[in-house]
Amino acid sequence: MNLRIKSRHFCFISTIFAALLADQALSLDAKYEACAPLTCGSGPIISYPFWISSSSCATQTSRLPCSGQNPVLNFSSYNFIIKDIFYTNRSLLLVDSSAYYDQDSCNALLHSISLDRILFSFSSGKNRPVEQKVAIGVGAGVGTAIILAVAAVIILHSCKKLRSSFFKGHTSDRDIENFIKKHGSLTLKRFSYTQVKRMTCSFREKLGEGGFGAVYKGKLPDGTLVAVKLLNASKGNGEEFINEVASISRTSHVNIVTLVGFCIEGHKRALIYEYMSNGSLDRFISDENAMMRSPRLGWNKLYQIAVGTARGLEYLHRGCSTRILHFDIKPQNILLDDDYYAKISDFGLSKLCLKRESIVSMLVARGTIGYIAPEVFSRNFGDVSHKSDVYSYGMMLIEMIGGRKRVNGEADQSSEMYFADQVYQLIEEGYDQGFYCHLMEEDKETARKMAFVGVWCIQTDPKQRPSMRRVIEMLEGSAEALQIPPKPYFFSPRRSPIIESLSITVSL
């Protein structure tokens, strides 16, 4: 509503301003039209340096009264009728007005008169002030008219753009609200932006920054701690908002983060989640030796997190009423509660699959560099499906066991190949080298199972990757029962995702 009022006010004020400019331009033109040459009755044409008294261009010395249908020149207290003006040689033909109007009387009396040179001291040649004033005035009028025309075009364009933006924004808001009413959970609560500011103490404590916005710590009136994601207004025109609400509101699983509520007021949009006290998995595996330094996050906890994440993904792929592809599985999106149980979060890039075989249109590759499956970039590697999430999960497992350095936006192809190849070398040669040789046998078996499963999950061919159900079976089974996976052809883009329009078949 505010945007609509502002846009109307802008257009109204701009129109008034344009009208005032137009009026000023017309007044300038009308003023200088009065300076055109005129006649007084049957007298000569009156032009510069003289003007009829009624003309707005006339000055004290150049004003000629029009009396009795004749222009009159007064000096030395006597009036003389101007019979002719010779502009070429700058001379006048004057007649005494008393003799002119009283021709039947006696001869006119002689007068002693004197001429004041200053009276006729006018500039000549090119530098004529009044003519310049006329020229400048006419030019100003024409220039103002041109500026007015340009301003009118700009104003109309701006009004059209504002109106389009208003309706587009409100259409997006209506679409989001209708979607929430149609598909949202009945337990999902809507908060006002004022309530969001109050629960976060005006966004005082920042927990982190994601691709779609910042996350802040908050507290509900009943004392429940929450995490508030404030979405960036410039991202996705509400797509990520719909993805999150549509995806998480359909879920109910111990390994999926709970969405408490949402806020939408124009471009101000926020999502309120349950608070996870231990943050994300990323903070514990920032390098390959993190688990060796932290007594709270040993191999048992890593294994617990791996299994919990696998169960959450298996639920999204097969346990939901609507199948969900996450497309952004990585340590930053695996949250840990008080007991370090894993919960999958951040569904901003997710896709819903309403049928067993669906067509998903993707304009750009989704995900984070280092975790994106090869087929997401190129159809030459196969179809995009739930196996794309399996690939991301496998890369995360390899990072968890210390087989590769932390992946970031600057990771290149050679480093990713090296660390994944190092894990495969450990599978072939055993865990009696490096820091693995100091592990207890039980921990070695855990690391071995996670490495086996990780390499199976990152096979280049999606058909060779296991389903998440099979991943859980392998993790919970014996390490000796696992088959050695083929050595994959490691693929990774060097920098940013390749933008291409994909028509993707999702087969689950």
Distance CA 124, CA 448 (A): 105
Query: What DSSP designation does 267 have?
Result: T
Angle at 473 between CA 307 and CA 279, to 5 degrees: 10
Is 328 marked active-site?
yes
Residue for token pair 């058909």 = 463
Report how far apart, in Å, the C-alpha atoms of 398 and of each of 111, 411, 447 are: 122, 15, 10
Report how far apart, in Å, the C-alpha atoms of 207 and of each of 77, 262, 397, 416 are: 95, 18, 24, 29
Contact at 8 Å (CB) between 468 and 386? yes
**Residue among 498, 468, 489 at smallest CA distance from 376:** 498
Catalytic residue among 175, 282, 328, 338: 328
Report how far apart, in Å, the C-alpha atoms of 369 and of each of 186, 187, 239, 332 are: 36, 35, 21, 13
Distance CA 224, CA 202 (A): 17
Length of the chain: 508
- Encoded tokens for 223: 């004392």
Q: What is the DSSP string of 426-473?
A: HHHH-S-SGGGGGS-HHHHHHHHHHHHHHHHHT-SSGGGSPPHHHHHH
Kind of pairing between the strands at 189-190 and 259-265: parallel
**Residue among 45, 47, 110, 115 at smallest CA distance from 76:** 115
- 96-108: buried (b, 16+ CB within 10 Å) or exposed (e) per residue? bbeebeeeeeeee
Distance CA 508, CA 25 (A): 72
Burial of residue 146, with CB atoms counted within 10 A of its CB: 0-12 exposed, 13-18 middle, 19 or more buried: exposed
C-alpha of 100 from chain center:
84
Sequence-separated contacts (24+) of 284-289 with Cβ below 8 Å: 284/336, 285/331, 285/399, 285/400, 285/402, 285/406, 286/406, 287/405, 287/406, 288/402, 288/403, 288/404, 288/405, 289/402, 289/435
Consult the annotation and say whether 83 binds a ligand: no
Q: Which residues are annotated as a binding site?
A: 229
**Catalytic residue IDs:** 328
Q: Which residues are annotated as a binding site for ATP?
A: 229
